[in-house]
A and B are shown apart, each in its own frame.
Chain A
Amino acid sequence: DAGVIQSPRHEVTEMGQEVTLRCKPISGHNSLFWYRQTMMRGLELLIYFNNNVPIDDSGMPEDRFSAKMPNASFSTLKIQPSEPRDSAVYFCASGGVYTDTQYFGPGTRLTVL
């Protein structure tokens, strides 16, 4: 079975540019989570969706970050404009209907120069 799919795996961009990260959750899962991992702050939840609806976005750092889930099989996390402090690994995770377990994708390593 395919796990959570993220693209791109690596992204290098310049400050001020728009960045879009993509995620395809595990088929049949109804929850989707976006996390950010840095050495200083560890793994932090940014936002999560249940049945395509945003439930908790309290972890989104500021208005430069936005996330959408237009359907059950696709989500995006957008940063506009990007800043060097946004450099991190961004993970997407999904969870099933009858479980609290979250399954993580391979991550997108973002570098903002």
Chain B
Amino acid sequence: EDQVTQSPEALRLQEGESSSLNCSYTVSGLRGLFWYRQDPGKGPEFLFTLYSAGEEKEKERLKATLTKKESFLHITAPKPEDSATYLCAVQAMGNTGKLIFGQGTTLQVKP
């Protein structure tokens, strides 16, 4: 069964304190791995798509990496506005359209 597990469930950082969020997955052939950001009361906002092991993508203070079993979302020198829930999702080969989401990591960055 395809499955996504995110850790930690919650993370509290001081402004400027870099850290990483983990997304472990088991899927019958990975088509793509997606990272989304969700603010309270809003829909998930797309951040990155990764397709193959070794791939990396960056956006401002965020960098996503992918291996054959997990993905990391690295946050460098975070700011309070980076506080949100970060969701990871996988799409299996031959299962176009269907995303399986993890439970998310809620990040709080204190000034």
Contact = CB atoms under 8 A, between A and B. Distances in A.
B44 A43 contact: yes
A33 B97 contact: yes
Nearest to B6: A42
Interface stretch (A12-20, A65-73, A74-82, A100-108): A100-108
B91 interface: yes
B87 interface: yes
A106 B43 contact: yes
**Secondary structure type dominating chain A contacts:** strand
A104 B97 contact: no
Given A42-B102, A43-B101, A106 B42 contact: yes
Interface residues of B, number: 22
Contacts, number: 50
A101 B49 contact: yes
**Secondary structure type dominating chain B contacts:** strand
Nearest to B97: A48
Interface string A16-54: 000000000000000101000000001111001010000
A72 B34 CA distance: 25
A30 B96 CA distance: 13
A43 B36 CA distance: 12
Given A33-B97, A100-B49, A43 B87 contact: yes
Contacts of A45: 98-100
A105 B97 contact: no
B97 A42 contact: no
Contacts of A95: 97
Contacts of B31: 100
Interface of B: 31-32, 34, 36, 42-46, 49, 87, 89, 91, 96-104
14 contacts: A33-B97, A33-B99, A43-B89, A50-B96, A55-B97, A56-B97, A56-B98, A95-B97, A100-B31, A100-B32, A100-B34, A103-B46, A105-B43, A106-B43
